[in-house]
Chain A
């Protein structure tokens, strides 16, 4: 094993992906994707299932090879010193299955033994709050505990760069919040984190920068605030009519023509309008409805989120895949 020479360029990019492409047969998973992640950042890949997030992150982890494009991890390509590079990475796979018959402590001892340098196992166990489960078999852990153990396995090598692929998918809300607190702690330690998620709240809370990925490309890039601001709207109003037979009694164009309505679309159950100020739009919206004798069965407003950004960009919701 050769020692990894220091990267020449500075300030270094922790991760640089240029023109990445990968197909499986006829299916194009990644179609010309670019990413730049600065050291110390928490960078999120946000997109629906099948957007190409996992393929991208696995190529970055050196587990998959691209058809074309360049990937530089901590200044190095995977052709240079793969083992030396792996010493510096922490990886959590989308569904990490660990040996069920081993205990938490045994699992971490095993992973720690692969790294030349790393963290104290007891510290890592305390960090992920598995102290009480130290001697428990992996097979008996809850989903959240397993996920925290997977994170611990990614941390024992004291990584510079951490890849987390959908760290909270399938977890209950409490376990998700617990994991978020952990990731925030890791950010505070100055580690670079690249995570994928299809939860917009997760991306908004954890990420400094977000790339919205759809059909193998980055369709929008920025901080959560920038992305939401790009909607040109602060709030979203959802409207459902009481009449099931006529879901869209008012032509969309008339709604869009109302003052301060920045955009919108018909949905399966009614309308969704992006607006500047709810206070400004609501009175005119209600009087328009009254003049047409339309009753709203449901009217809700919320501050614009990344989900709304995704809908505005693709016309689909994240969960729809």
Chain B
């Protein structure tokens, strides 16, 4: 091992990366744009207003026409989370199909109402309940049980809090696999690898330079994402930052080794794109990045839990949201470590230099 050539190889990686503006964009700016989009979607805002459509009452039926006015007045007065608007009678189905109103209230002759809504949509069922309560109370119904409501807002229970650790883990997987696999396959395809193999360069140093390069950028990537998540999205980091970074590093090394394995014989960029997607796609779905992995049947849980992304997602989520320490996340670390060792050994064995 010679420091000189390892330094040269690693700075070559850095130079090649930094001189590729697109690569820099996709690595740093894209995840931030994604998180920014999420921040807008999950911003603090008043509870959703249900849109209620009413139909103009039949001409001359005063009781019926009173319903619409009454509904609007009551809703405004009680500060109910609904907004009403009047639509023509022949557009009821269009409105419901397009989902531009959750509920359509059709006044009936003699003062009754008909509710039209899609019972499969939860917000439609809620809107129906709300509107019905308002109308019934306005007409004098009395609630007989005294009710007191206490609502809480727990930090870390929002979807965005669930999603950010998953996004971070997914980002680590993607950038680790892609950056290694693409660079190596391109170098093999252009016969750069062959040229290097004709020098006394240490094979191990060559592979190590990719790992070092990844680690330098990983620290930056994690720092940016965590800072953004913490300050802009107010996602809690309850566990220790050091444990979190440790898990992220082991995860990155593990996915780097998987990237190395995937690229150990592939000759074309098209080939490695297919192979890498083939390996990553199941993990995007099954590893619980977007929704909890426990939604899948129990029969396939052992397989899901053995996926490296599941281990990384669960580990990071436990540390960030539940404040877990090493004592809790060691099984996840063990899974990642196993992938690291096995992939690296196999890759070194089957790696082709041309």
> A residues near B, CB below 8 A?
61-63, 83-84, 86-87, 89, 91, 93, 95-99, 101-102, 106, 109-111, 113-116, 153, 157
List residues 188-235 of chain B with CB under 8 A from any CB of chain A: 190-192, 194-202
Tell me if B8 and A110 are in contact (CB < 8 A).
Answer: yes
Which of the residues A95, A97, A113 comes within 8 Å of B4, measured between beta carbons?
A113
Contacts of B73 in A (CB 8 A): none
Number of residues on chain B facing chain A (CB within 8 A): 25
Q: Smallest Cβ distance from B205 to chain A, in angstroms? A: 9
Q: Smallest Cβ distance from A82 to chain B, in angstroms? A: 9
Tell me if B198 and A93 are in contact (CB < 8 A).
Answer: yes
Tell me if B195 and A96 are in contact (CB < 8 A).
Answer: yes
Residue of A nearest to B201 (CB): A114
Tell me if A99 and B12 are in contact (CB < 8 A).
Answer: yes
Contacts of A83 in B (CB 8 A): 200, 202
Tell me if A62 and B198 are in contact (CB < 8 A).
Answer: yes
Tell me if A87 and B200 are in contact (CB < 8 A).
Answer: yes
Query: What CA separation (Å) do A106 and B13 show in the bound complex?
Result: 12
Which of the residues A61, A62, A91, A98 comes within 8 Å of B192, measured between beta carbons?
A98
Contacts of B202 in A (CB 8 A): 83
Kindly state whether residue B277 has any CB partner on chain A within 8 Å: no
Known: A93-B191, A110-B8, A110-B9. A101 touches B15 (CB 8 A): yes
Contacts of B196 in A (CB 8 A): 114
Tell me if B8 and A113 are in contact (CB < 8 A).
Answer: yes
Contacts of B191 in A (CB 8 A): 93, 95-97
Kindly state whether residue B100 has any CB partner on chain A within 8 Å: no
> B residues near A, CB below 8 A?
2, 4-5, 7-9, 12, 15-16, 19-20, 190-192, 194-202, 353-354
Contacts of A95 in B (CB 8 A): 191
Tell me if B15 and A102 are in contact (CB < 8 A).
Answer: yes
Known: A101-B16, A102-B15, A102-B16. A115 touches B192 (CB 8 A): no
Which of the residues A87, A101, A109, A115 comes within 8 Å of B20, measured between beta carbons?
A101
Residue of A nearest to B198 (CB): A91
Query: What CA separation (Å) do A89 and B2 show in the bound complex?
Result: 19
Query: What CA separation (Å) do A153 and B15 show in the bound complex?
Result: 19
Contacts of A113 in B (CB 8 A): 2, 4-5, 7-9
23 A-B pairs with C-beta separation under 8 A: A61-B198, A63-B197, A63-B354, A83-B200, A83-B202, A84-B200, A86-B199, A86-B200, A89-B198, A91-B199, A93-B191, A93-B195, A96-B195, A97-B190, A97-B191, A97-B192, A99-B12, A99-B16, A102-B16, A110-B12, A114-B201, A115-B200, A157-B200
Query: What CA separation (Å) do A198 and B195 show in the bound complex?
Result: 22
Query: What CA separation (Å) do A10 and B20 show in the bound complex?
Result: 52
